[in-house]
Amino acid sequence: MSLKFILLLIPLLPLFGAVVSGLLRKQVGRNGAHWVTIIGVGLSFVLSGWILYQQVFAGLETVNISVYTWMVSDGVHFEVGFLVDHLTTLMMCVVTFVSLMVHIYTVGYMADDPGYQRFFSYIALFTFSMLMLVMANNFLQLFFGWEAVGLVSYLLIGFWFKKESAIFANLKAFLVNRVGDFGFLLGIAAVLYAFGSLDYAEVFARRGELEGKTLAIIPGLDWQLATIICVCLFIGAMGKSAQAPLHVWLPDSMEGPTPISALIHAATMVTAGIFMVARMSPLFELSDAALSFVLLIGTFTALAMGLVGIVQNDIKRVVAYSTLSQLGYMTVALGASAYSAAIFHLMTHAFFKALLFLAAGSVIIALHHQQDMRYMGGLRKHMPLTWITAWVGTLALIGFPFFSGFYSKDAIIEAVAESQRFGSDVAHWGLLLGVFVTALYSFRLLYLTFHGKERFVIAAKDGDESAASHPPDGVLAHAPVESPAVVTVPLILLAIPSVFIGYFTIEPVLFGGWLNDSIVVEQGNDVLARLGSHFSGAGAMAMHALVSAPFWLMIGGFLLATLIYRLRPSLTDLLHEKMPALHRILVHKYYFDEFYQRLFVRRAVSLGEVLWHRADAGVIDGWLVNGSARLVGQLSARVRQWQSGFLFQYAFAMIIGLIGLLAVWVVL
Amino acid sequence: MDWPILSILTWLPIAGGLAVLIAGPHRSGLARLLSLAVALATFVVSALLWGAFDPASAAMQFAEIKPWIQTFQVNYHLGVDGFSVPLILLTTFFGVLVIIASWDTIQRNVHQYMAAFLIMEGLMIGMFSALDGLLFYVFFEALLIPMFLVIGMWGGPRRVYAMIKFFLYTFLGSVFMLVGLIYLYIQSGTWAILDWHQFPIGMGAQKLLFLGFLAAFAVKIPMWPVHTWLPDAHVEAPTGGSVILAAIMLKIGGYGFIRFSLPITPDASAALDWLVITLSLIAVVYIGFVALVQQDMKKLIAYSSISHMGFVTLGLFIAFAIFRNPEVATGAAMGIEGAMVQMISYGFVSGALFLCVGILYDRLHSRMIADYGGVANTMPWFATFVVLFLMANAGLPGTSGFVGEFMVILAAFKANFWYAFLAATTLILGAAYSLWLVKRVIFGEVANQEVAKLSDLTRREALVLGILAVAIVGVGVWPQPLVGVMHGSVEQLINHISQSKL
């Protein structure tokens, strides 16, 4: 098998699974649907692992191949092809692994759903799209993957298409993403404008040409072309990676089934923006202004969204806000030119956040689709495996020393501290505070869900049937039980890398130059190199952390959460009373949704109405079209009267006409 | 090849149409079979044309020339280049589909209905291959008659208003063109379009000619503000009429710009490009908003067509702004090819969408969005197709809808940042009106008893939609065969219009 063939198989196997399970529903049945997709994705994972093995141990060089020519126009070759370097391989492994776990988990989670096959078809299609995105060797294919994952996300958020909230959320997600894509497409157009090519290798090789080039967007005001390109591309990333102010779709996307929240809205798709900026590092390095913009957007998202996470009651929404906040951390890393740190956090986050989501899903099925944490509590006795794995995920998330999240998050904070870029001071403080906030909402979630008193009751067996099928909140038909092995095994398999992956990979990924073939950092910006100069092993880094600010802020968050949610629950009411304004702002998520609804959604509809009724129907049809018809009608009604049939009138008309003609002739 | 392949393509469907008419009202089955056979045969011949066409050459191929009206030097002159071949193929493709799609939905006067479509097909092919100005004009106007009849005989309740509006609008526009054509003949002494391309004309006359052509083609395509006939015509037309109208007849406007306006009056086009570009961008943005608030599905798609056709005119006329921009060396070709791809692609997409509305209308006799909801529950396969087509409408990569818009936006950036900026708003607006439609019609709980009783696609419907889905995804995944066919002609056009005729 040639390498090209293997690389082709990696995305095409999941696509095959998606097509078979989606179109041949009758023929393959339920089991066929999950087998064909699981085997497809599983093989993709094995092959990705093989590529990684070849790169690590057999010295496989960067592969850049074209599969076919999509189109040639105006001398520009638009190709479909693969660029497989270390960055790509890392993404491929993460995507296929998490996807495989989610596929297996789905067998248990969606067991009773009538859309079982459709679901497998969608998640396999997602895996294909995501792989096309990360393996692209040009902007066109990147955009294809970018939009295709958006499509699958749209289909999956609205998977339960009878639910009004779900089909609102998926429309919202697609449209907000399209706002980002609007910028992204302009960015791609700007790249073509500047380089006459959309091929990564060519664009990156000729990046020097951008220096000094400007574009007058507003006449007389020349902007750096590099800044325009990077800001436009980053607007795309803001949509996909849910950075404020384009973050509003992600919390609502929790309307979809939990496995896709883990796969798409935590581990992979939402990190596409981070991946893209890291991939474009040769371009972003040319614009300090764009990177400062990235830095500040990330900081705001990291801190502000974490704070909202504290007041959410829906278990999935807490995790969703946590995802927003963590994506903010990654974005800050990008803005500080610590691209490798962003990718490193992307990887560790993929494992522990997928784990947390799947654990939340395990709780949700045990409680018969109850997602409100106010009706949980004390679940650790009933579901010990879920409980332990959730603890592991939480410790990784808050960055407890030796856990994977610790290494990635600490590296980002340290890198930002080193950075000299405009905004890096704010970012540093924001991220430090964010550590405290992360610990606070994470332990709140753990306590409310697994610890304390049970806030649900088991309905009496002799209750009437109708009540049992739709019980009120907090009433369960029978006691919660631990989920089946298809659910818990993926939890365990995700818990392992959540603990260890950071410890073992920090050195090569951040300091050993593993990503050097993909990521370009200007000498003066290389904060990670500066960090690396005093890095002396993963163990030492963890020990050192015990005397650093992030650790103690984390402990602070833990203690506060323990005090409020474990020891003195009455404190929450007190806090609500004492700080009603803050509480209201957080509960309303800073009023972003209300603001957009008023400013854009309603305006767009009323503008459409005005243009249609007033301009189209009123002016054009009313005056011009029907008006001219009326005019002709009225004129002809007048003129018709002249056709009277009376000879003397005709004779007069002829005489008058003759005189008129003579007069004209004489005058001229 | 010695066969007069273009004449065959033109006259085979017309002769077939007459034969179907002769079959008479009492043999509907025969009329259907005969129509299908004729349409299929025409499609096969057009596929042979595609195969034999040499894309490397910019010259007119398969040319036929015979004297027609010798007194006025009018010739029966046919020939095709890279612009006409894809459009001819689109025409024959839809010629087949529309007959299958109307197989048993039309019960009244089947033979006349089928004959009207076959004759229309022949006339359109003739128009796309005419190289004689008067011959073109004859086909161009003759086309109105069968469409007029289709709307008038099989249309909805307000069909008379729509029909007259349609006729007067397009007729008014084409009268100006006729004046222009006669002027060209008087000045140059020939009706040959290719000779007109080379014929030097002063700026004043060019501007008047340009405006005359603009009047005809802007109405056809249609451009804002002469678009208001289209929603009415679509709403009243039967499904087949809407499909042909949207998929092919609108493209006549775009084709006219390529064949007449740009090459005959390049200097006027360069001087007045701001006008066309402004109107195109208004179409994209303004009509996008109007489409958002439509309550009638057909109107929504009709407005969406107008908005998408804005990309065609934009793609054609940004060429001059690119020539003027000293910063960029190339880009005009991508705009023009993008415009062509957009025409073909949008033919597939709008045709498919009108068919989908027709499928719902056949079952529920309503086109109002409010009468539907939760269709996916009862028609899952139909829902799958609709979502695919509307995604293509929203320009999703991997579908044909993406390719043309992508090319035009990329090219527009080279002309002016703001052109690209405004054009790219379609990403948001197109998605908004397309997916809001999905939300209201396809998703949700079953809205009412009527929807609960809906039955999913029949085999015939699934076949038609399936073919279109393959075409849409095919062009989206590999547009090279389509784009490659026009390279030679586009290059020649660009060379031609970049030189002044003054």
Inter-chain touch A185–B425, beta carbons under 8 Å? no
Q: For an interface test with B, which of A15, A67, A73, A144 has the most B Cβ atoms less than 10 Å from its Cβ?
A: A73
Chain B residue numbers touching A255 (CB-CB < 8 A): none
Instruction: Say which of A74, A154, A186 has its CB closest to residue B333.
Output: A74
DSSP annotation string for A72-88:
EETTEEEEEEEEESHHH
What confidence category does residue A96 fall into, taking pLDDT thresholds of 50, 70 and 90? very high
Spatial separation of the C-alpha atoms in residues A122 and A467, rounded to whole Å: 34
Chain A residue numbers touching B168 (CB-CB < 8 A): 629
Percentage of chain A beyond pLDDT 90 is 58
- pLDDT for B357 equals 93
Chain B residue numbers touching A136 (CB-CB < 8 A): none
Which residues 6+ apart lie within 8 Å of B60 measured at CB? B79, B80, B81, B131, B194
Q: Is the pLDDT of residue A617 over 50?
A: yes
Instruction: Say which of A72, A147, A186 has its CB closest to residue B420.
Output: A186
- pLDDT for A535 equals 85
Chain A residue numbers touching B292 (CB-CB < 8 A): 604-605, 608
Position A390: which residue type?
A
- pLDDT for A467 equals 46
Coil, strand or helix: which one is A223? strand
Inter-chain touch B421–A164, beta carbons under 8 Å? no
Spatial separation of the C-alpha atoms in residues A626 and A475, rounded to whole Å: 65
| Chain A residue closest in CA terms to B424 | A182
What confidence category does residue A620 fall into, taking pLDDT thresholds of 50, 70 and 90? confident
Spatial separation of the C-alpha atoms in residues A666 and A660, rounded to whole Å: 10
| Chain A residue closest in CA terms to B490 | A74
Span A559-576, average pLDDT: 85
| Chain A residue closest in CA terms to B429 | A175
Inter-chain touch A73–B333, beta carbons under 8 Å? yes
The nearest CA of chain B is from the CA of A626 a distance in Å of: 9
Inter-chain touch A73–B444, beta carbons under 8 Å? no
Exposed (0-12), middle (13-18) or buried (19+): which is B29, by Cβ within 10 Å? exposed
- pLDDT for B58 equals 82
CB neighbours of residue A171 within 10 Å? 23
A147 CB near a chain B CB, below 8 Å? yes
pTM of structure: 0.92
Inter-chain touch A189–B425, beta carbons under 8 Å? no
The nearest CA of chain A is from the CA of B150 a distance in Å of: 23
Coil, strand or helix: which one is A407? helix
Chain A residue numbers touching B414 (CB-CB < 8 A): 192-193
Which residues 6+ apart lie within 8 Å of B386 measured at CB? B353, B356, B375, B438, B441, B442
A223 CB near a chain B CB, below 8 Å? no
Q: For an interface test with A, which of B163, B165, B282, B290 has the most A Cβ atoms less than 10 Å from its Cβ?
A: B290
Closest C-alpha to A514, from A532, A488, A491, A498: A532
Average pLDDT of chain A to the nearest whole number: 89
Percentage of chain B beyond pLDDT 90 is 60
Span B265-292, average pLDDT: 92
Inter-chain touch A171–B165, beta carbons under 8 Å? no
Span A309-332, average pLDDT: 93
Q: Is the pLDDT of residue A468 over 60?
A: no
Q: Is the peptide bond before A245 cis (omega within 30 degrees of 0)?
A: yes
Q: Is the pLDDT of residue A469 over 60?
A: no
Spatial separation of the C-alpha atoms in residues A408 and A396, rounded to whole Å: 10
Q: Is the pLDDT of residue A112 over 90?
A: no
Inter-chain touch B427–A182, beta carbons under 8 Å? yes
A168 CB near a chain B CB, below 8 Å? yes
Instruction: Say which of A178, A189, A625 has its CB closest to residue B165.
Output: A625
DSSP annotation string for A54-67:
HHHHS-PPPEEEEE
Span B411-437, average pLDDT: 93
Q: Is the pLDDT of residue A390 over 90?
A: yes
Do A217 and B417 meet the contact criterion of CB atoms below 8 Å apart? yes
Q: For an interface test with B, which of A25, A71, A223, A252 has the most B Cβ atoms less than 10 Å from its Cβ?
A: A71
- DSSP annotation of B78 reads E
Chain B residue numbers touching A608 (CB-CB < 8 A): 289-293
A190 CB near a chain B CB, below 8 Å? yes
Q: For an interface test with A, which of B422, B435, B440, B483 has the most A Cβ atoms less than 10 Å from its Cβ?
A: B435
Chain B residue numbers touching A74 (CB-CB < 8 A): 330-334, 337, 411
Which residues of A, range 609-628, sit inside 8 Å of B by Cβ?
609, 611-612, 615-617, 620-621, 624-625
DSSP annotation string for A576-626:
HHH-HHHHHHHHTGGGHHHHHIIIIIIHHHHHHHIIIIIIIIIIIIIIIIH
Span A321-336, average pLDDT: 94
Spatial separation of the C-alpha atoms in residues A315 and A329, rounded to whole Å: 21
Instruction: Say which of B418, B428, B435 has its CB closest to residue A171.
Output: B435
- pLDDT for B110 equals 84
Span A148-174, average pLDDT: 92
Instruction: Say which of A144, A174, A190 has its CB closest to residue B435.
Output: A174
- DSSP annotation of A475 reads E
Q: For tokens 């693969």, name the residue.
A: A82
What confidence category does residue A1 fall into, taking pLDDT thresholds of 50, 70 and 90? low
HSE, side-chain direction, 13 A CA sphere, residue B400: 29
Spatial separation of the C-alpha atoms in residues B97 and B106, rounded to whole Å: 14
Chain A / chain B CB contacts < 8 angstroms: 143
Do A184 and A64 meet the contact criterion of CB atoms below 8 Å apart? no
Q: Is the pLDDT of residue A464 over 80?
A: no
Instruction: Say which of A75, A604, A607 has its CB closest to residue B330.
Output: A75
- DSSP annotation of A457 reads E
| Chain A residue closest in CA terms to B405 | A185
| Chain A residue closest in CA terms to B399 | A144
Coil, strand or helix: which one is A421? coil
Chain A residue numbers touching B421 (CB-CB < 8 A): 186
Q: Is the pLDDT of residue B372 over 80?
A: yes
Spatial separation of the C-alpha atoms in residues A608 and B436, rounded to whole Å: 14
Q: Is the peptide bond before B225 cis (omega within 30 degrees of 0)?
A: yes
Instruction: Say which of A164, A182, A615 has its CB closest to residue B424.
Output: A182
Inter-chain touch A612–B294, beta carbons under 8 Å? yes
Chain A residue numbers touching B473 (CB-CB < 8 A): none
Q: For an interface test with A, which of B230, B369, B408, B413 has the most A Cβ atoms less than 10 Å from its Cβ?
A: B413
ipTM over 0.95: no
The nearest CA of chain A is from the CA of B129 a distance in Å of: 24
Inter-chain touch B480–A179, beta carbons under 8 Å? no
| Chain B residue closest in CA terms to A165 | B444
- pLDDT for A10 equals 94
The nearest CA of chain A is from the CA of B490 a distance in Å of: 9
Do A191 and B415 meet the contact criterion of CB atoms below 8 Å apart? no
Chain B residue numbers touching A161 (CB-CB < 8 A): 376, 442-444
Instruction: Say which of B396, B427, B483 has its CB closest to residue A151.
Output: B396
A114 CB near a chain B CB, below 8 Å? no
SS3 track for A31-54? HHHHHHHHHHHHHHHHHHHHHHHH
- pLDDT for A639 equals 78
Query: Residue B288 pairs with which residues in a beta bridge?
Result: none
What confidence category does residue A460 fall into, taking pLDDT thresholds of 50, 70 and 90? low
A640 CB near a chain B CB, below 8 Å? no
B480-492 tens-digit pLDDT: 999 999 998 999 9
CB neighbours of residue B387 within 10 Å? 20
The nearest CA of chain A is from the CA of B27 a distance in Å of: 39
HSE, side-chain direction, 13 A CA sphere, residue B233: 33
Position A575: which residue type?
L
